[in-house]
Structure 1
Amino acid sequence: MTPERNAPSITKTTAKSGAQRVAVMDLGTNTFHLLITEGTVDNLNILIHEHVGVKLGEGGINKGYIHADAYKRGIDTMVAFQNEIERYNAAEVRAIATSALRNASNGQDFVNEVQQLTGIQIETINGDREAELIYQGIKAAGCLNNGLSLIMDIGGGSVEFILGDYKQIVWKQSFEIGAARLMDKFHKIDPIPNKAIYELNRYLENNLDDLFSAVDGKQIDTLIGSSGSYETFAELTEMNKGHAFDLNTIKNYSFNTQELVNITDWLVSSSHQERKTHDGIDAIRVDMIVVASLITRFVMDKLDIKQVAMSTYSLKEGVLAEMLNPGL
C-alpha cells in the first residue's frame, strides 16, 4: 500500500525573491504534512502545502508499534519531503512528531532512520507541548477573542483539548483517544452499529474526567475544531448548499449548529463506499471521519455547546509562529 496523495492537498504559489523560506512537517498518526512558506504568520506566502495519508498507526496503533508497511510508507514520505525542501531551498526546517511516534516501541528507530536518510532531525513532543503548539496555531488564525473557547484537535493517535482565550491558555491536556485508536476499537463494521456507538460514547465518558473537571462551572463560548476532520465538515456543509468552497483561501469558519449536526448524522450512518465516492471527503479521512464525528457530537452534547467553529491553522502553523516570531 502506497501513501495516499490527493491533488487538492497540494498548494503551490510563486516564491517572492529574497524572502526567508521555512519548512514545517507535522508527522501525525494518520497524515504527514509538509508546509513550506515565506513571509510572516499574519501574511504567509505558502509555497507548498502537501499532506500524505501515511496511516502510520495502521495495524499497530493499539499494540504499541509501527507496522512494517506503515513504517515504509512513512520513510518514503520523509524522503519525498526532503526532496521538496531541497528544491525550495528552505533556510530552516522543523519536523514535529506526535502520538504514534512518541508511543511506538520502534518510534525511535524511525526517527534515527529518517535522520540517516535525509538529515531531518525529528522532534518527538509530548501531549502537553502538542496542545501548546495547537493553541498558537489557532491564535494565529484569529479564532480567539475575549470569551473562553474550547479547542479540540482530533488526531489519529490523540485528541488535544485546550481551554483559553486570545490572551492565554487556561488549561490543556492531551488524551490518547485519537480517531485511529477508537476506530480500531469500535468501528469494525461499516456503517458503524448503534451498539458500537453506545460503547464508544461510554468509553469517552469514562476517559475524559479531566476535561469535565476543567470546564466545570465555566462558560464556554465556542468549540473550535482544529483543521483535519473539521475542514471536511465545513466542506460538506458548503457543498450541501451548492457553494464553492476553497479551504486554501480561509483561516476560519463558523458552523450553523444544525447543519453540523446534519452532516455528522449523515457521516455516522454512511457506508464506506458512500464516503469514498463523495467529492467532499479526502481519501485520507474516509475511515476516521466517522469516529471524529462521534467524538465531536459527544463533546457538544455533554458540554451543551451550541457554537462551533473551525480553524484551518493547527500545530504546524503554531510551529511556524514560533519560528517566525522567536520571542513568542
Structure 2
Amino acid sequence: MAENSLHAVIDLGTNTFHLLIAEVRAEEQFAEIYRERIFVKLASDGIETIGPEPFARGIATLKHFARVIREHGVTSVTAIGTAALRTATNGEAFVRTASLECGIEIGLISGDTEAELITRGVLAALPPLEDRVLIMDIGGGSTEYIIASSEGVHWRQSFPIGVAVLQRSFHHTDPISADEVSRLENFLEVQLQPLREALGAYPAHHLVGAAGTFDVMAEVLRDGAALRARNSHVLTMDGLEHLHLTIVGSTVAERLAIPGVPPERVDLIVVAMLLIRFTIGLAGIRKLTVSDYAMKEGILLNASDQNLGSPAASG
C-alpha cells in the first residue's frame, strides 16, 4: 500500500456493521477520516440462517458504505465477515450478493484470525503494558479472549458465545429470571473452561474490553473515569457493580431510560453484562480498561504490510 493513501475497513459483525476510513501514514500510525456504525442485527431471526429482513438490511448498509467509500476517493477496501457469516447457512449467499450488488468483496476469517486482529488493534490503543492483561471482545456470534503482556501474546481463543447466541438461549423473561441467570452461568462455566486453564498458567487481573458493551459501560460510567489515555481509558470498579445490578434487574423500558444505553443494545446488554461479570469473577479482575481500538484498527494497522485490501468499488 502506498503511503498516505486512504484505506477503508468494513467490519461485518453479527450485530453491527462498521465502516472506518483512514489515511495510513506509516506503520502503526493512521489518521481517521470517517467512522460510522449501523446496527444491522444479522442474527435477529437466528444465528443459523440470516433471515430475509436482516439480509436486506445488511445489503442496504453495504450499498450505503460503498457510496461513502466512493465519495471519499478510497483506494483500497478490506471487508471482513465474522461469526454470523461464518456460521449461517446462507452466509456465502450474502457474500455473493454483496459482491454483485455493492461491489464489495467480503473475506471470511476464522475466530483465531479475528482474535489476532483484535490483539493488534487493542495493544496499539494502550500505553506500554506494565502488567499482564486479559483482552475481551464481545461480538454477536462470538467472544474473543486474549492474554498478553509486554512479552507478547501468551494465549488467545475465540468462543461461540456472542451476545446474540446467549440472548436467544437464555434471556426470555423481562427482566431476566434468576433461573435463566443460573443456567447462563452454568453454560459459561463449561464453555470457558479453556479460559480458566489459560488463566491458571497466565494469571491476568487487568481486563481490557474492546468495543460494543464496553463502549456503553464507558459512556454510562463516564463520571467515574479515572484515567484517560489517547485511545483508551481506565474505569473505576466502584460503579461497575451498581451498573450490573441495575441492568440485569431491569425491564426493557427501564433500560431504555438509562442515559448512555443505545436503544439498539437494550435487548443484548443484559447477557453481555452477565458475561463480563462472569469473566471478572473467573479472572479475579481488579482493573478495567476500555480500548477505543478493536479489530477494525488491527486490520488497518496491517494494511501497510499485508495485502488484505481489494481495490475500491467503482460501480
| Greater RCO (Cα-Cα under 8 Å, separation 6 or more) | 2
Supply the distance in 1 between the matched residues of 2:20 and 2:57 (Cα, whole angstroms): 19
CA RMSD of aligned residues (A): 2.1
| Residue pairs, 1:208-247, within 5 angstroms | 208-239=192-223
In structure 1, the residue matched to 2:112 is 128
In structure 2, the residue matched to 1:312 is 292
Supply the distance in 2 between the matched residues of 1:79 and 1:85 (Cα, whole angstroms): 10
Aligned counterpart for 2:9 among listed residues 17, 24, 28 = 24
Residues 61-88 of structure 1, C-alpha deviation per residue, up to 9 Å, x if partnerless?
1xx1111111111011011100000000
In structure 2, the residue matched to 1:197 is 181
Amino acid at match of 1:280: G
Unpaired runs of at least 5, structure 2: 308-315
Displacement of 1:278 in angstroms is: 3.1
Residues 167-217 of structure 1, C-alpha deviation per residue, up to 9 Å, x if partnerless?
421111100010000000111112111111111001100111111111114
SS of equivalent residue, structure 2 residue 239? helix
Supply the distance in 1 between the matched residues of 2:28 and 2:302 (Cα, whole angstroms): 13
Displacement of 1:325 in angstroms is: 4.6
Aligned counterpart for 2:240 among listed residues 235, 260, 277 = 260
Aligned counterpart for 1:36 among listed residues 15, 21, 33 = 21
Instruction: Say whether residues 1:154 and 2:138 are aligned partners.
Output: yes
Displacement of 1:277 in angstroms is: 3.2
SS of equivalent residue, structure 1 residue 52? strand
Supply the distance in 1 between the matched residues of 2:266 and 2:184 (Cα, whole angstroms): 19
Displacement of 1:260 in angstroms is: 1.5
Number of residue-to-residue matches in the alignment: 303
Identical counterparts, % of pairs:
37
Q: Is the 8 A contact 1:131 1:160 kept in 2?
A: yes
In structure 2, the residue matched to 1:83 is 67
Aligned counterpart for 2:249 among listed residues 269, 293, 302 = 269
Displacement of 1:110 in angstroms is: 0.2
SS of equivalent residue, structure 2 residue 221? helix
SS of equivalent residue, structure 2 residue 276? helix
Amino acid at match of 1:46: E
Amino acid at match of 1:30: N
Supply the distance in 2 between the matched residues of 1:316 and 1:253 (Cα, whole angstroms): 19
Supply the distance in 1 between the matched residues of 2:75 and 2:113 (Cα, whole angstroms): 24
TM-score, length of structure 1 as denominator length: 0.87
Query: Which piece of structure 1 moves more, 52-61 or 40-49?
Result: 40-49
In structure 2, the residue matched to 1:4 is none
Displacement of 1:166 in angstroms is: 3.9
Displacement of 1:42 in angstroms is: 5.3
Aligned counterpart for 1:69 among listed residues 32, 53, 61 = 53
Q: Is the 8 A contact 2:59 2:102 kept in 1?
A: no
SS of equivalent residue, structure 2 residue 112? helix
Amino acid at match of 1:275: R
Moved segments of 4+, more than 3 Å: 39-44, 324-327
In structure 1, the residue matched to 2:160 is 176
Amino acid at match of 1:178: G
Unpaired runs of at least 5, structure 1: 1-17
Q: Is the 8 A contact 1:143 1:311 kept in 2?
A: no
In structure 2, the residue matched to 1:3 is none
Residues 81-140 of structure 1, C-alpha deviation per residue, up to 9 Å, x if partnerless?
000000001111000110000001100000001001122110100100000000000011
In structure 1, the residue matched to 2:32 is 46
Supply the distance in 1 between the matched residues of 2:71 and 2:175 (Cα, whole angstroms): 43
Instruction: Say whether residues 1:287 and 2:267 are aligned partners.
Output: yes
SS of equivalent residue, structure 1 residue 220? coil
Displacement of 1:283 in angstroms is: 2.5
**Cα distance 1:182–1:24, how it changes in 2: closer, same or farther (>3 A)?**
same
SS of equivalent residue, structure 2 residue 7? strand
Amino acid at match of 2:188: L
